[in-house]
Structure 1
Amino acid sequence: MKVIGSAAKTVFYLKKIQGQHPNWSLHYKIKCKSTENELTNLLRYAEIKRNQPVAIIAREQFSGFGQNSKTWVSPKGGIWLSAAYPIFSKEFKSQIFNLSLGIKICEMLKQENINVCLKWPNDIFIGSKKLIGFLPKVITRGNEITYVRVGLGMNVLNYTPSEGTSLSKVLQTKNINQYYWTAKVLKAFHDSVECNSNKDYVINSANKFLTKRFLPSGFCSNTWKIRDIDSNGNLRIENQTQLKVITRF
C-alpha cells in the first residue's frame, strides 16, 4: 500500500534516520479532540501487531490532556501525537519506561546541539522553560506487557505561554521541517524501547540530564532539594534530617 500525504513525508525521514524497521503505521489528523482518544479508539478495534508500532499525529488538538488530566494546549505549529509500540514480553522494565523515553529525547536534541534537561518524571526543559511533555503508559495482559504508549507534545512553531518555549525560539528560525522532527521523536520512542533492558544505563543517563531546580508539588525549595533518581526510577529529595522517595504513580 502506497503511503501518501503528511504520513509519507514523515516516513521519508524515518527511513533516512532509522531504516526500514520497524514498520510504523502513521495516521494524520488535521484536527481532533485528543490524539490519546484517537489512539485508544484505533486500538480498540484493531489490535496492535508485532513489529508494527502505530502513531496518531494531529496538526491541532482542542481537548488534549497531560499529567493528572491537566489541560494540554495544542495549537497549530506544534507536534502533537500519541503512539503505541508492541512489546509482548514479561521482561520489559515498566518502572523506568518514562526515563528511557526521556533520555532518548534528550539525547536526540543534544545531537542537534540543543541543550536540554529532564524534569522528573516526564518533561523536557530548556533552562526554566518547558519544550516537551510526554505521558507514558504501559499496557499489560496478565503478566505480559503487550505494548507501551505515549502521548507527546512538542512546541515547534506554535505560540507558547510564558512558562514554555518552542523550537523556533531556541533555534531562532521559523524554517523548521516538522516532518523531520516528528520522525526524530518517533525514532526516540523506538530507541527507548531498545535500551529499556539496560537499567544501569537508563538510570545513569537520567541523572546526568536531571534538572534539580523543580521540586515536586508541595515541597518548599527553602527546605528541600532534589538528590537524585534512584535505581527504581523514583525521585529522591532531602532536607537536613529526612530523605523522601517520590514515586511516579
Structure 2
Amino acid sequence: MAPAVLRPTGGAALARLRRQSGAPPWQLRCLPVCASTEQVLSDWLRLHPWDGLLPRAVIARRQTLGQGQWGRRWQSPPGGVWLSAALPWSAPSSAPGILGLAVAVALAERLEASGVAVLIKWPNDLLVQGRKLAGVLPRMVVRGNKVRLARVGVGLNLVNAVPPGGIALTEVLAIQRGQQLHWTAEVLAALDHAISLVADPERVCHATEMRLWTRQVQDPRSGEQWSVEGVAEDGALRLRQGTRTNTWTRWEDASFAGL
C-alpha cells in the first residue's frame, strides 16, 4: 500500500517557507497521523527507491507507535515535531554515531540562536534544564561495503504533553501551537547543516564536547565510574579511569546514567 500523503496545505506550506528562506529542496510527505514515520519512510523507499538526488522526510503531527532508541516507544502526541528523513551520505565514515551527533549539534545551534541553552546527552538526546527536549535516532543503509544513504529520526517537544523527565520548548520560549511549522522548518534546516557537518568529524566532536551534559558516567553493568575525556571521530565516547581507558562505541552500549 502506498504511503498516505498529508493534506496538501501542510507540505505545501512547509515547502513554501523553505523556499522563502533559500533552503535547498526536499521531497516531503506530511501526515496528520501515522503509526510510525520510520515505517512510512521505509515504505516510501521501497516503493520509490532512493536515487540520491534529494533528501526525503516524512513528518507527522502525531504518531501512535513512534520508535525510539533500542526499540523503545517514543511518545509523540500532537504539538511536537516528529519526522524521519533519508539523507545523502558522502562522508568517509560509516558510523551512525557521528551522524547522530552531527544532527544533535546542528539542532542545538538552531535552538541556541533562539536563546535556549542546550546540552547533548551522548549519544542521542538534547537536554534543557536537565530534561529531555529532543531525541535523534540515526542509522546507515549499507549496500556491500558502501553507505547507500543515511536515515535519521528526530523528535522535538514543542507544545505537546511530555513524559516525566521531558520538557517542551514552550516551557522556556514563548511559543504557540501555530509555530510548529516554523520549528519543523528549523529541524529540516538542522538536517541540511548536519549533512555538511559530517564531512568534518573533528568539528562535530569538538562541538559535542563543548555541550556534553556530564563529565562522569557510571557503567550500568559493573557500576564503575568513568571520567568522560571526549568524543572520538566515529562518535564514540572516550573514557578514563586512572590509567585505564575505554570507549563506548555502539549505541546500544549507551544505557548508562550520567552522574
TM (normalized to structure 2)? 0.86
Q: CA deviation at 1:221?
A: 8.3
**Partner in structure 2 of residue 13 of structure 1:** 17
- The answer as to whether partners of 2:119 and 2:127 remain within 8 angstroms in 1 is yes
The counterpart of 2:45, out of the listed 37, 43, 46, is 43
- The answer as to whether partners of 2:217 and 2:225 remain within 8 angstroms in 1 is no
Mapped partners of 1:138, 1:99: distance in 2: 14
**Partner in structure 1 of residue 147 of structure 2:** 145
Aligned length: 243
- The answer as to whether partners of 2:58 and 2:83 remain within 8 angstroms in 1 is yes
Cα separation, partners in 2 of 1:174 and 1:244, compared to 1, 3 Å: same
Q: Provide structure 1 residue ranges, at least 5 long, that are not aligned to the other structure.
A: none
SS for the counterpart of 1:156 is coil
Q: CA deviation at 1:247?
A: 0.7
RMSD of aligned residue pairs (Cα, Å): 2.2
- The answer as to whether partners of 2:11 and 2:30 remain within 8 angstroms in 1 is yes
Mapped partners of 1:144, 1:97: distance in 2: 15
SS for the counterpart of 1:161 is coil
User: What is the identity, as a one-letter code, of the residue corresponding to 2:46?
Assistant: R
**Partner in structure 2 of residue 99 of structure 1:** 101
Q: CA deviation at 1:142?
A: 2.1
- The answer as to whether partners of 2:62 and 2:76 remain within 8 angstroms in 1 is yes
SS for the counterpart of 1:73 is coil
Mapped partners of 2:222, 2:48: distance in 1: 47
Q: CA deviation at 1:112?
A: 1.3
SS for the counterpart of 1:80 is strand
Mapped partners of 1:107, 1:205: distance in 2: 10
**Partner in structure 2 of residue 242 of structure 1:** 244
User: What is the identity, as a one-letter code, of the residue corresponding to 1:120?
Assistant: W
**Partner in structure 2 of residue 63 of structure 1:** 65
**Partner in structure 2 of residue 34 of structure 1:** 36
Q: CA deviation at 1:53?
A: 1.0
| Alignment deviations for residues 11-56 of structure 1 (CA, whole Å, 9 cap, x no partner) | 1222233x252x2111111111111011001101101233311111
Tell me whether 33-42 or 23-32 shows the greater mean CA deviation.
Answer: 23-32
SS for the counterpart of 2:50 is coil
- The answer as to whether partners of 1:104 and 1:192 remain within 8 angstroms in 2 is yes
Q: CA deviation at 1:202?
A: 1.3
Percent of aligned pairs with the same amino acid: 33
- The answer as to whether partners of 1:137 and 1:149 remain within 8 angstroms in 2 is yes
Residues 54-203 of structure 1 aligned to structure 2 (within 5 Å):
54-87=56-89, 89=90, 91-95=91-95, 96-174=98-176, 177-203=179-205
| Alignment deviations for residues 94-146 of structure 1 (CA, whole Å, 9 cap, x no partner) | 32211211111111111111110111111111121000001001112223322
Cα separation, partners in 2 of 1:133 and 1:148, compared to 1, 3 Å: same
Q: Provide structure 2 residue ranges, at least 5 long, that are not aligned to the other structure.
A: 1-6, 252-259
